[in-house]
Amino acid sequence: MTTWYVLDENNEPQKIGDLPTYLEWLQANLPNHPYEAGTPLWSDTIENILISTVFLNMDHNPGVPGDPVLFETMILMDDPDHPLNGKRNRYRTYKEAQAGHEHALQLVTTYLTNSILHAPE
């Protein structure tokens, strides 16, 4: 059975329970609660490259010991063959997700800087 989570006011994941309980919680708390499933915590666009970090609301690594994996950062680009396109990392905590988003921004910035430096004249 899938267990659903929400973020509390301190950005700590709180276990809600099964899907019906989660949906009931959403009805009672939205629109006052900012983190509906898939709503970006952080979203940046640099030169048509999207870097987005979301709270997933359910463990994306079930059955593995430790805290649930509840956050994800993705890089999305126009070029489907680029190695950064679709790059995804998942995290267990809000702080890890925040650091992961910053790391993804650095990856994109480095890629763009190198592209400019090595562009044919």
Contact 50, 33 (CB under 8 A): no
Distance CA 116, CA 112 (A): 6
Distance CA 42, CA 47 (A): 17
pLDDT exceeds 60 at position 119: no
Q: Is residue 105 part of a domain?
A: yes
Cis (ω within 30 of 0) for the bond into 13?
no
Q: Is residue 21 part of a domain?
A: no
pLDDT exceeds 70 at position 33: no
Number of residues written out for the chain = 121
- Helix, strand, or coil (residue 27): helix
- pLDDT of res. 75: 97
Q: Is residue 3 part of a domain?
A: no
Residue 25's CB: how many other CB atoms inside 10 A? 16
Q: Is residue 22 part of a domain?
A: no
100 vs 16, more confident: 100
- pLDDT of res. 88: 96
Residue 53's CB: how many other CB atoms inside 10 A? 23
Domain limits at 95?
Answer: 36-117
pLDDT tens digits, 74-108 = 999 998 888 899 999 999 999 999 999 999 999 99
What is the domain count for the chain? 1
Q: What is the mean pLDDT of residues 27-39?
A: 66
